[in-house]
């Protein structure tokens, strides 16, 4: 069932668990995530970066593919198609194409410009019952061309953006895209608690979900995190399983050429990763 992400995240906040956003790149990725969500009776958010959207030939293709899969796979759990780290123009395009949820990432603008642009996107999206995620502060590292400084979010600025009527908020609290470096300082729960105090009952989003220790995830959930984004971890799992299968000569000693067989171990690895995350996030059985 395709839905906006608002209701599922309000419920998650209320129920003290988080819904996973898993980024998609193609049909196999999408199928693996949808199958796992359905098997585990978990709500799920399919994240689409602007780069991945282009790779899949455009937002309309993504929407049609997901709509078709939801129908033909008999998916009954709540599923949102969400633009990840969208630009101002990108968010408008995704809304037009039929996404059920968008992130407008204005974190690299001044706070005034972030406010103005976020306000426009909220008006447009809400006129079509599409949910909106905004960002304050910055997520460190790089994801699909989106580079962040890792600056902590200012709680007062979070309140300014929250007051625009957004549906959930991403805030930089020391989280980083990609694999965490060995000298990573961890999430800053003091900043997170301050933000929660300012924004009240607004679901918070934790980006950079790859490799965050379970105890930190659980603590973040107690402080209002209701959506956790995972991308790199599925990519690493897919790549490792595919490499292992080919290097072990299981593809008929290097002569296998059926793409459905070549992609199967990687697809299974994505399913296993998504299942593990849903267990940690506590979303199983919540659909």
Active-site positions read 84
Nearest CB to ligand G3H, comparing residues 229 and 242: 229
Size of site (CB under 6 A) for ligand G3H: 16
Choose one: 87-95, 204-212, 244-252, 261-269; the region binding ligand G3H (CB under 6 A).
204-212
**Rg from Cα positions in the chain:** 18
**227 contacts Zn ion (rule: CB under 5 A):** no
Helix (H) or strand (E) holding 268: helix 264-281
d(CA 267, CA 136): 34
From residue 28 to residue 47, what is the string marking binding to Zn ion with x (rule CB under 5 A)? --------------------
Query: Of these, 207, 227, 277, 286, which contacts ligand G3H (CB under 6 A)?
Result: 207
Q: Which residue has the tokens 């193609």?
A: 26
CB of 50 to Zn ion, least distance (A): 12
**4 contacts ligand G3H (rule: CB under 6 A):** no
d(CA 222, CA 138): 22
Angle at CA 42, nearest 5°, toward 264 and 129? 110
Query: Of these, 207, 227, 277, 286, which contacts Zn ion (CB under 5 A)?
Result: 207
Q: Residue 230 binds which one of ligand G3H, Zn ion, none, with CB within 5 to 8 A depending on kind?
A: ligand G3H
Look up residue 3 and give its two tokens.
């839905």
For the chain, count helices (H), then strands (E).
Answer: 12, 10
CB of 116 to Zn ion, least distance (A): 22
Half-sphere exposure of 169 (CA within 13 A, CB side): 31
CB of 262 to Zn ion, least distance (A): 29
**82 contacts Zn ion (rule: CB under 5 A):** no
Q: Is the four-CA dihedral 137, 282, 190, 169 of positive or negative sign?
A: positive
Give the Cβ contact number of residue 142 at 10 Å.
12
- Residues contributing to the site for ligand G3H (CB under 6 A): 23, 47, 84-85, 143, 177-178, 207-210, 229-233
Q: Which positions lie near Zn ion, rule CB under 5 A?
A: 207
């Amino acid at each position: 069932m395709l839905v906006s992400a608002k209701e599922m995240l309000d419920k998650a906040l209320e129920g003290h668990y988080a819904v996973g956003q898993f980024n998609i790149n193609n049909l196999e990725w999408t199928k693996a995530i949808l199958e796992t969500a359905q098997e585990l009776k978990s709500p799920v958010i399919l994240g689409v970066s602007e780069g991945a959207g282009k790779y899949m030939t455009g937002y309309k293709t993504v929407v049609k593919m997901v709509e078709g899969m939801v129908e033909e796979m008999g998916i009954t759990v709540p599923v949102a198609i969400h633009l990840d780290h969208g630009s101002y123009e990108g968010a408008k395009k995704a809304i037009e194409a039929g996404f059920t949820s968008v992130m407008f990432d204005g974190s690299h603008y001044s706070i005034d410009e972030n406010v103005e642009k976020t306000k426009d996107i909220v008006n447009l999206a809400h006129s079509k019952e599409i949910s909106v995620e905004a960002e304050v502060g910055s997520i460190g590292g790089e994801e699909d061309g989106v580079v962040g400084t890792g600056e902590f979010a200012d709680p007062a600025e979070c309140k300014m953006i929250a007051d625009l009527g957004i549906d959930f908020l991403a805030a930089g609290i020391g989280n980083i895209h990609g694999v965490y470096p060995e000298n990573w300082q961890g999430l800053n729960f003091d900043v997170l608690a301050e933000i929660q105090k300012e924004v009240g009952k607004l679901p918070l989003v934790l980006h950079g979900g790859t490799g965050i220790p379970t105890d930190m995830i659980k603590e973040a959930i107690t402080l209002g995190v209701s959506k956790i984004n995972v991308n790199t971890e599925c990519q690493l799992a897919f790549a490792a399983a595919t490499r292992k299968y080919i290097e072990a000569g299981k593809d008929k000693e290097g002569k296998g050429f059926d793409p459905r067989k070549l992609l199967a171990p990687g697809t299974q690895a994505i399913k296993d990763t998504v299942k593990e995350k849903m267990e940690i996030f506590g979303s199983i059985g919540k659909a």
